[in-house]
Chain A
Amino acid sequence: MSASDTDFLGRPVIAVTGLGIVSSLGKGVAANWDALIAGKSGIHTIDRFSTEGLRTTISGSVDFMGEMGRTSTGLSYAMAESAGSEAIRMAGLKDDDFGGPLFLAAPPVEMEWQHRLQLDHMDGATTEEAGYDRLLEIARKHPDRSIYNLTQCSRISELLADRLGTRGLPITLSTACASGASAIQLGVEAIRRGETERAITIGTDGSITQESLIRFSLLSALSTQNDAPEKASKPFSKDRDGFIMAEGAGALVLESYAAAKARGATIYGLILGCGERADDFHRTRSKPDGSPIIAAIKAGIEDAGLTPEGIDYINAHGTSTPENDRMEATGLAAVFGERLKETPISSNKSMIGHTLTAAGAIEAAFSILSLKEGVLPPTINHHHPDPAIELDVVPNTARRAEIGAVLSNSFGFGGQNACLVLGRAPRA
């Protein structure tokens, strides 16, 4: 091991050697990156199910994964499989024999409405009254393991572990909208502990159903600007009115820098640091003084051995809800001070929507591409800046900029705050 193999604390440097992405913009890293820097929106009117009577009728759903897309568990797996195998192949490894652990951010799953209704239509019950007693009677007459499988939260990681040839017991995690970043953090920690030389981290979310849409809608979290779907997600704009539910998956192959170099792998970027801090204020709202967000940002930058001056670009959480964008700007201002105005910050969610569990992973993958290509993706739909938020949001069109370090923020319900600091690959 040479000096460049370890960081300022003597820990192994973490290299990113493979990426994989699925979003409403398409399948694969190239298709997504091209659309993203072209400022294309993946948001569209929902046709997966009836939206009759709903306040929100738009989303960034992924509707091109075939048969597997018929259930949330199936779709979440299919996208994770696509992104995961792409990342492993990009790393020059065998996508059925990865040989390291899997850290998966996946949505909680449960029985879906199609199956409750399907069971209720079956015969074999003496109870006529609708409800779980009747469904239980029917289940005893007509057991169906395929429905049960879809209700198990370990299902997706089990299928992935077999498909990708990962090692050991995979960890499936949920830290709400910070999940994708948390998965990367777990991978980083495992390599830093010396448990493994590489890990695959995947965030996936295919959980747009009637019920999930209605539930977020009842919390008044979603945009209702249904008339022009591609214009509805407008982070940091004055007329933002909520987030757009979206689907997708992001995958990163993480390796110790020493191991990646030793096998001659191409290094696309580095994970320099991770920070987290939980909020004890409220189930859906941030502490008014922003202290947990501030602490998470500071912890990430500190873990990277940097100061705010070392951050060249911020990949925002930027959900387009009135509260998040204001709190995020406030939190960043507290850490960056006057320098914040000159630090470009953009929100991928203006184009792909909020991919929830997957967001932190997809946005980390985009951050690595920004570092590698020297291009900052835009915040589209930025025509009416919020005067209370003074930021350089890279409005509407992508920008060329050589950057060395990116801060990627993820904040979620339940007081989840996670921040990653990603760095450019050392020049050979």
Chain B
Amino acid sequence: MTNRPRDVLITGIGLVSSLGEGIGEHLDLFARGPGLQPNIKSDGYEPYFVHGLPAIDWSRQIPKRGDQRQMETWQKLGTYSAGLALEDAGIPMDEAVRSEIDMIVAAGGGERDPAVDAMVIARARGANDAGQVINETLSTELRPTLFLAQLSNLLAGNISIVHKVTGSSRTFMGEEAAGISALYSAKARIASGQSEICLVGSAFSAERKDLILNFDLAELMLKDEWRPVFARTGARQGVAIGSVGAFLVLESPEHAEKRAARAYARLTSALGDRGRRGGDATAKRFAALLPAQATDEDTMVWSGATGLADLVQIERQVLAERFPTAPVRAYGTLLGHAFEAQMPAGVALAAGALSRGMAIPPFDTGEERPAPAAPRRAVVTSIGHLHGEGVCVVEAIEGDCR
């Protein structure tokens, strides 16, 4: 256990967002920039902005209709993305192989039934006993299976059922921090020899008014006018939520070699912290998570910034001091903000781009500089909308581009 920590390889990526599915499709699109347009649905969501999903043929990764019926979009998105990652890693649908794979999922809660919620609210108006109305209505109107579509750990449960991953199953909760911790924990376990291969990731489904309600009660949502993340200031700041499913297969070099798997990149660091947000405390904690400056033409930053102006400002200032010439890309500009899935999505994009040896054109020509050359190292950031700060470092594998 006290041996030198092992490398942790990224050998599979499953990414689905408003932009499409598959890491390749995302990178192909980015290569067509700058000047890309996000895929935003505002219809029915005014004054908010929602990066919604394109049409997806769920049966490609969730073949059984019966399984699909047990899930709402959030779990389908996660299960689908997890399937993409396993397929991409070249792991056969063989129970003996998949039963040895560990799993860490960062999850929120699943969908409610908005029609039933509306019915309870309507009936409770003017009722003498609102409690009785809740009992009567929920007892008769709720679908029993919806509870399972809602439980946080049932995304992992569905991945076990559909994709036969059963080595272990751990669900972390807590918005951005959950995604950071999931990567931290998976990496630490593999590096120390506690695990050989781990499916880690998250999904966030944005087309949910119940979630928008929670966030806007705290006045966090971007309204009325959309802007790229780094251009959000003053009254034009806030979060534009985005549907994202992002899963990675992490693996020890020994395990990857045994099955002749190719790696996208190495995950060399995954760290998180939290604490009070006042004064310069956030900046100090965030700076302490960042790696030291290298020859910084080699580094690019994938910023998971939320679009909340004060946090964006702190992050950009710290990044400018540490990596003065590194190109920075706020991927929330194109994907939207995906809370638990934000950090996994950033690591997926970083690993894919490093593997292609690709310089990423700016997502926002006003605020982001062109990249002079393909980076060899990517720093992925996620400063939580309310709390939690995280940084992952992904490094290219020399001479072995996938």
Contacts and interface: CB of A to CB of B under 8 A. Distances in A.
B230 to A, nearest CB: 25
Interface string A148-180: 110111100110011000001111111110000
Nearest to A140: B216
B336 interface: no
B306 interface: no
A158 B387 contact: yes
Interface residues of B, number: 83
Interface in B103-140: 103, 107-109, 112, 114, 117-122, 124-125, 129-132, 134-136, 138-139
Interface string B179-193: 011001100110010
Given A143-B218, A154-B174, A169-B181, A53 B135 contact: yes
A193 interface: yes
Interface in A373-401: none
A215 B109 CA distance: 15
A339 interface: no
A39 interface: no
B118 A148 contact: no
Contacts of B136: 53
A63 interface: no
A139 B156 contact: no
Given A117-B124, A189-B194, A219-B147, A280 B164 contact: yes
B216 A143 contact: yes
Contacts of B95: 280
A130 B122 contact: yes
Interface string A129-153: 1111101100110011101110111
A13 B120 CA distance: 53
A29 B20 CA distance: 53
A415 interface: yes
Interface string A318-351: 0000000000000000000000000000000000
Contacts of B357: none
B387 A154 contact: yes
Given A195-B188, A283-B148, A415-B160, A210 B134 contact: yes
A278 B167 contact: yes
A30 interface: no
Contacts of A186: 170, 185
Contact of B138 (A148, A214, A219, A276): A214
A276 B214 CA distance: 35
B135 A175 contact: no
B132 A11 contact: no
Contact of A194 (B2, B125, B178): B2
User: In the complex, which of the residues A51, A53, A133, A152 has the most CB atoms of chain B within 10 Å of its own CB atom?
Assistant: A152
A132 B118 CA distance: 7
A282 B119 CA distance: 31
A82 to B, nearest CB: 21
B244 interface: no
Interface string B200-211: 000000000110
A50 B129 contact: yes
Contact of A152 (B139, B152, B174): B174
A72 interface: no
A210 B131 contact: yes
Interface string A407-420: 00000111110000
Contact of A110 (B103, B112, B384): B112
Contacts of A162: 276
Nearest to A211: B138
B125 A120 contact: yes
Interface in B249-298: 272-274, 276
Interface in B357-401: 384, 386-388, 390
Given A143-B217, A283-B70, A169 B273 contact: yes
B196 interface: no
A52 B161 contact: no
Contact of A136 (B109, B120, B148, B213): B213
Contacts of A4: none
Contacts of B120: 113, 116
Contacts of A49: 131
A171 B142 CA distance: 32
B213 A139 contact: yes
Contact of B274 (A52, A136, A143, A169): A169
A288 interface: no
B154 A130 contact: no
The 7 A-B residue pairs with the shortest CB-CB distance, nearest first, are A414-B157, A154-B174, A50-B131, A169-B272, A131-B118, A130-B122, A132-B209
Interface of A: 9-12, 49-54, 106, 108-111, 113, 116-117, 120, 129-133, 135-136, 139-140, 143-145, 147-149, 151-154, 157-158, 161-162, 168-176, 182, 186, 189-190, 192-195, 210-211, 214-219, 276-284, 292, 412-416
Given A192-B192, A219-B147, 18 more contacts: A50-B134, A52-B135, A54-B139, A135-B213, A136-B209, A139-B213, A152-B214, A168-B273, A169-B181, A169-B274, A174-B152, A277-B168, A278-B165, A280-B165, A283-B148, A413-B148, A415-B160, A416-B169
6 contacts: A110-B109, A148-B215, A148-B217, A153-B175, A277-B166, A283-B70
Interface of B: 1-2, 70, 95, 103, 107-109, 112, 114, 117-122, 124-125, 129-132, 134-136, 138-139, 142, 144, 147-148, 150-154, 156-158, 160-161, 164-175, 177-178, 180-181, 184-185, 188-189, 192, 194, 209-210, 212-220, 272-274, 276, 384, 386-388, 390
